[in-house]
Structure 1
């Protein structure tokens, strides 16, 4: 498995218990340890030994590369953003230089389930003079890291929420690694920080306790528009709400604020056995309540609409689980 200096490798066992002597070890890669792309794999890994599988979780990964490794058969499981899978299928974006290989590997990917990724909080300082999206013209806005799909998702949200502002002509989009962005915002390097964090996450609260913030939510009339619906479908994202009273130090915290949340897929290779894919999918949903009880940030994991935003074919083993639950798999997600 490829490793980076920033990766965090963990072997997670059931709390208070020994690993099963007969459990099969599987490798899985996720995102940052403070984001749901890392929190979900870690939380899930505590329960998979009971199903016969020990997950070796490696965090801090570039998920576009993780998807390639799963497709190549060099990794068992990975968190895969839908836009990354779409780019693999088309051989564009980060895969443009190896288009044919990426497309071949994309054909090998199958989905077990989806979960919400990062909720994009559009944050400005309360004393900045920015009170609405109309004030963002000519400003500097952090839109995401240099690589990946987040910047396009953030730009789309800005375009719809502001009534048409475009990066480069109407504002300056700033791209930095996620881990550098918070300090850069505090240092005054940009006017708006589109922060990817679970609703209620401590990192947002810590920011607001240092200095009052304003979260510029997407107006209700925009959320109800055809343009917003098209944006959600095009970028494989969903609407999220920051409930009133979530954060201290949020000057407009007396009202709900509409934001956007990314969708993530748990991807496997199509050659994973149906038995394994079934057992893993079942273990996730069977232990969803336990995971949510252990970590409040997982409260918004939702089993009611498991395919919203997904674009990867469902693994036949996972499909068996959904069929047992009476959940219909959309036709475009049924594997050949």
Structure 2
């Protein structure tokens, strides 16, 4: 099914209830260049071309907050990590202040139009850094996400499972808003980075302008461990085994960018 068809189905109630003139709707997304904002911009273009609605898109948003905005009705559409509704329904993680009862109530107000891949979590660092892999994180400053959100929760979980370290105890997690993240990485605010990566990835391309970087894959023993397999079974998370040819092409391209 094409996005155009999904829009026609998902917004049918709005179309039938409205007039012949396309209505204005609001949408949120994160930083320019990210897959989620690109998806929202594409959705907005298709909706406008089909006469369904004109979207006002606000970028640079924290998507876990965007979920609450959609649930409360202040925003119509937003891309959110799949784990976010699960956490909201339980009043957990970034939604602890909302509470389980209110979170469950808000979750009833949302529904998914379609899914997309945000990216993969990875550890990377400048070659000049003292961080040279997952076994070198202890006692270091690690950039692990925005101040709140799914990326931060995933980064903390991966570091705890793979390296056995907790944020604030085994290492110092440091955060920045997505819009400031490339400069935050480049200015040495952290000795290593655990964040989602995309392909292509504007954030990594900008950060790599400050020096050569290396990405570190999850150790095979850690990946196959019971704890990591449970993590992969959590909402919005999945393990991916790359075909050798795809791995070769990916390595060639990131080497061209100076990332490894």
Provide the secondary structure at the position in 1 that maps to 2:252: coil
Between 1 and 2, higher relative CO (CA 8 Å, sep ≥ 6) is seen in 1
How big is the shift at 1:98? 3.7
- Offset at residue 85 of structure 1 (A): 1.1
Residue 93 (structure 1) shift:
3.8
Q: What secondary structure does 1:56 align onto? A: strand
Residue 165 (structure 2) aligns with: 165
Deviation at 1:200, TM superposition (A): 2.1
* 2:131–2:192 contact (8 Å) kept in structure 1: no
Q: Deviations over 1:287-330 (max 9, x none)?
A: xxxxxxxxxxxxxxxxxxxxxxxxxxxxxxxxxxxxxxxxxxxx
- Greater percentage in strand: 1
User: How far apart are 1:214 and its partner, in Å?
Assistant: 0.9
Compare 135-144 and 236-245 and name the one that shifted more: 236-245
Q: For structure 2, which runs of at least 5 residues remain unmatched after alignment?
A: 1-19
2 CA distance for matches of 1:97 and 1:228? 28
The residue aligned with 1:57 is 57
TM-score normalised according to structure 2 size: 0.76
Matched, 1:246 2:253: yes
- Aligned twin of 1:133: 134
Q: Are residues 1:84 and 2:84 paired?
A: yes
Counterpart-to-counterpart distance in 1, 2:94 and 2:136: 33
1:180 aligned residue:
180
Q: Normalising by the residue count of structure 1, what TM-score does the alignment of the two structures yield?
A: 0.61
Partner in structure 2 of residue 306 of structure 1? none
**Residue 228 of structure 1 corresponds to which residue in structure 2?**
228
Following the alignment from structure 1 to structure 2, what is the Cα–Cα distance between the partners of residues 90 and 76? 22
Q: Deviations over 1:197-254 (max 9, x none)?
A: 42222332233243111111112343344322211223632335672112235464xx
Alignment of 1:134-283 (within 5 A): 134-162=135-163, 164-234=164-234, 236-239=236-239, 243-247=250-254, 248=256, 250=258, 252=260
The CA distance in 1 between the partners of 2:225 and 2:204, in whole Å, is: 28
**CA-based RMSD:** 2.6
Answer whether contact 2:137 2:171 (CA < 8 A) is retained: yes
**Higher share in helix:** 2
> How many Å separate the matches in 2 of 1:103 and 1:137?
37
Displacement of 1:168: 2.5
Counterpart in the other structure of 1:46: 45
Give the Cα–Cα distance (whole angstroms) in 2 for the partners of residues 97 and 222 of structure 1. 33
1:105 aligns with 106
- Does the CA contact (< 8 Å) of 1:146 and 1:175 recur in 2? yes
1:191 and 1:107, CA in 2 relative to 1: closer, same or farther beyond 3 A?
Answer: same
Distance 2:189 2:97 in 1: 33
CA distance in 2, matches of 1:135, 1:64: 30
Structure 1 gap segments, 5+ residues each: 1-20, 253-336
- 1:70 aligns to 2:77 (yes or no): no
User: Per the alignment, do residues 57 and 186 of structure 1 end up closer, same or farther by CA in structure 2, a change over 3 Å counting?
Assistant: closer
Quickly say closer, same or farther: Cα 1:209–1:64, change in 2 above 3 A: closer
